Structure 1
């Protein structure tokens, strides 16, 4: 996705990206000097001259048992010796209108590393026929048929097959690997582990992200089962059918299968991922007992691997090449073995590179900050260490319109700009304190790091059923009055909790963030964010009381520790 311009959807590729992919495709189909020469403007001509000498590219259709036709592309090395076999990598498409062609930029490198490469668009996506099942059992069965077709090609080693995918392709790859043990290694970038947790966090629907995905799928191409799930989520009917639909499509459901087979699993996600649940990916990775690695990067869904998908260098794809080389015996990577650990960047520095043996080793222990009333002469509440603070009440109005503090002004694109070192700026002095409660620390005496998950406990008395609060943690510069977001989470109360004080404890999204000396941390508890769907947006104005009763004092547990 290009930074310039505003794509029609948050996942659309820019004109320059599409032009490059079109030129690559033409050079693969017709490796003439004229076609290859067009790639010189991107510095790719020499690479594709080499490709033309060592491999053949073709576009094909793979017909499933029920007659569904999957649009696909195939790259096979030339001039194999009799009996010589190669590892193969299968690339199910991400959720994008060009389907498997999103991977065109990777094919040359995979091929020069000695792989047979098969990329395909799942049923109902791009030019493939059939209905969209959202990485359901039918898509997993299709993946098995795709492997059956692949191993019939001369030169493919049936014992050395890997799956790589981004986003929708990551989910398809992971779920296929749980069912078909011919898949000897899997790598999923911008992956999901728990589809239900991605749709429904702390009782709150992630409706903006959900609608963006539905728009990309196209409702007219969706299966009747999926269309019914769409209807129920829009109506906030989160029943057993919705849960079962999500469970069947969640890699965490098949944890035992991965562990029994010791399937090597590489996962990547992003700190400000707005599509899939980051905690679920971390928990899934931590529960795997086979070879595994996890990468968490600056930005949002799909941002970090975009350069790699187009043929450039990127950590997620570079790690995937190493991963497949190590487990399948190819040479697409840089010759270095993979690391089996947790690797991350800290916000908002994509050049940073931190390594730890596990998430438990990586995350810092929590430090308790109590939510306290305002100090004398101040209007905002305080975040203080030491003794718990009881007896205060802060009331905010739920009006269906929130403050300017939001998870992200734009899905995916806000995170893409973060990767360029330009995080969104919030002006906290402009927050309407009638709509949100603000609690602030004293200026930090030393530079400190937030690394790991945070947890908020607060007692809330909403006057209406279905009330939602959204908690944001901000890094605030008291000199400029501006702030950047560190983490967030919503919480929605049930109808039974209306009109009575309820103490809730819920996690905020994990983060890795360095807070400079002299900055303050601000906890903002708001009543509205367009990212989420909640009753606050449709009911009449009502009050939400935030309190801290004795014995259940409000606090924020935060993994904040000085930087060495």
Structure 2
């Protein structure tokens, strides 16, 4: 995937912009003398100009941003793009947004101030994915960074790897593959990836992730007061958006949160090619105000901007205004006739549903990058035919069909009471929009695992914004395995969900 994107970017590389210096390839000495491959472009006019530094994405290099660099240079910015250590032709080994990467970012700022017409008082950092993470972390480490635009980034690497105490298999596997193909993994990274996949030394892996999480340095970021733009996809299978909601709430800086349909880096992809793009337009306007000093009104716009999965764009002053009122749906007794329970009404007891702990169903979160990426392009959510869900392997609960549209906004939450559960186990919950013909569109999902004996579990589904049409049924499916995730189930075990279980849905 990364190599394909890079090839497209290279083929789409623009001609030099009129009124700019043109692109210049340079070597920048990073921390410890490691060579970082880079390029830069600047306005041709006299004087000092605001700066944007782009660390490249995981698996890509500084060529990634060449189309946007040309556009931004034409708007008056010095733009420096560089390949982080350990990738492609840069020296060193991959530090995974660790202390060496942050020291390198500061070295790039030093070089930029010394060697380009940069205004040292007006420096921004931005990027997609890995570049977003380094930029956001850098805003806490280097007070010279006055504005950040983090596109498809993370604020909590531990959550990204282990949300719901469940290891994310496909996303971590792709990151590992890219590192092996076009990078030079450090011994530490190799060890951490091995421990992650082998489910060993979990606390050590989490400690490693915390060091690489902007949320760990929230106080430092707030102290430095950069203007922070966060933009992600609802269906980001690498960095699910819940972590950004929490991080955004803790920021006391000028800030904005934008969420759009799509998977990891999909919402920004056409902009990488130099085509019109909402995420990149937001980035430009953000820097135009907070670096270039333009009075474009960005600072007075609502701080939360969202494009729901199937509705027009919306804006809110904060996240709590988006989420509205919570509604609780009790999970009811499974009917013998159709193997489905009622979702709704008071929380009830006196029933149970046994699930085999090692059997999958057609309910699923899809394939990393591809499923939610395709849905962003087509405008259609991934779907299944609900009658194909094996009721011997899954619990299914369907709500009564409302007479008016229901606006789901925020983080749905599921509480499941368990009976006789094994010491370790995993459940995966899926929330669907079910029409009258049995077609079920995925609204959101999330896994949950436990590593000690428990009588109940709580799972925060991934944040969503979706309009449930009138006459459609909100439907919950619970099974025990999904190819997106490693599970903690032992073959032959079973998990029994019982009365007292419920779903909480935020209705805007």
Aligned residue pairs, count: 505
Residue in structure 2 matching 1:419, options 376, 396, 401: 376
> Which of 490, 497, 503 is the matching residue for 1:546?
497
Match 2:51 to one of 82, 88, 106: 88
- Distance in 2, matches of 1:185 and 1:23, equals 28
Q: 5 Å matches for 1:126-141?
A: 126-141=88-103
Shift in Å, 1:328: 1.0
Match 2:298 to one of 324, 332, 337: 337
Q: Deviations over 1:138-195 (max 9, x none)?
A: 0000001111111002421111110011100000101111110111111100010100
**Which residue number corresponds to residue 408 of structure 2?**
450
Secondary structure of 2:42's aligned partner: strand
SS of residue in 2 equivalent to 1:24: coil
Q: Shift in Å at residue 113 of structure 1?
A: 0.9
Are 1:496 and 2:453 counterparts?
Answer: yes
**Counterpart in the other structure of 2:425:** 467
Deviation of 1:495 after TM superposition, in Å, equals: 4.1
The 5 A counterparts of 1:282-361 are 282-329=245-292, 335=296, 337-338=298-299, 339-349=301-311, 352-361=312-321
Structure 1 residues 403, 67: CA separation in 2 closer, same or farther (over 3 Å shift)? same
Shift of 1:509: 1.3
Deviations 1:427-475 (A, max 9, x none): 1100111110101111122111111111111112355432111010100
Provide Cα deviations, 1:13-70, integer angstroms capped at 9, x if missing partner: 35xx835533526x34xxxxxxxxxxxxxxxxxxxxxx14432211111122423111
Alignment of 1:183-262 (within 5 A): 183-218=145-180, 221-262=184-225
Select between 424-433 and 134-143 the one with higher mean Cα deviation: 424-433
Could you tell which deviates more after superposition, 295-304 or 455-464? 455-464
Question: What's the offset of the Cα at 1:540?
Answer: 2.3
Mapped partners of 2:52, 2:165: distance in 1: 39
Tell me how far apart the structure 2 counterparts of residues 358 and 211 of structure 1 sit (CA, whole Å): 35
In structure 2, what is the equivalent of residue 38 of structure 1? none
The aligned residue for residue 22 of structure 1 is 11
Distance 1:224 1:18 in 2: 29
Q: Does residue 75 of structure 1 match 2:50?
A: no
Find the aligned partners of 1:268 and 1:19 in 2 and give their Cα distance: 23
Q: How does 1:370-409 map to 2 (within 5 A)?
A: 370-374=330-334, 377-385=337-345, 387-399=346-358, 401-408=359-366
Shift of 1:89: 0.7
Q: TM-score, normalised by structure 1?
A: 0.86
Unaligned runs of 5+ in 2: none
Determine if contact 2:139/2:145 at 8 Å carries over to the other structure: yes
Secondary structure of 2:22's aligned partner: strand
Determine helix, strand or coil for the equivalent of 2:206: helix
Q: Say what the alpha-carbon RMSD is for the aligned residues.
A: 1.9
Q: Residues of 2 paired with 1:251 and 1:20: CA distance?
A: 29
Contact 1:291 1:340 in 2 (8 A): no
1:152 aligned partner: 114
Counterpart in 1 of 2:30?
A: 64
The 2-side partners of 1:503 and 1:20 are apart by 49
Aligned with 2:307: secondary structure?
A: strand
> What's the offset of the Cα at 1:198?
0.7
**Secondary structure in 1 matching 2:461:** strand
Question: In 1, distance between residues paired with 2:381 and 2:458?
Answer: 28
Please give the alpha-carbon distance, in whole angstroms, between the structure 2 residues aligned to 1:150 and 1:377. 70
SS in 1 for 2:368: coil
Question: Matched residues in 2 for 1:521 and 1:304: separation?
Answer: 27
Q: 1:474, 1:253 → 2: CA distance?
A: 34
Counterparts of 1:293 and 1:23, CA distance in 2: 30
Aligned partners of 2:262 and 2:372 also within 8 Å: yes
Aligned to 1:482: 439
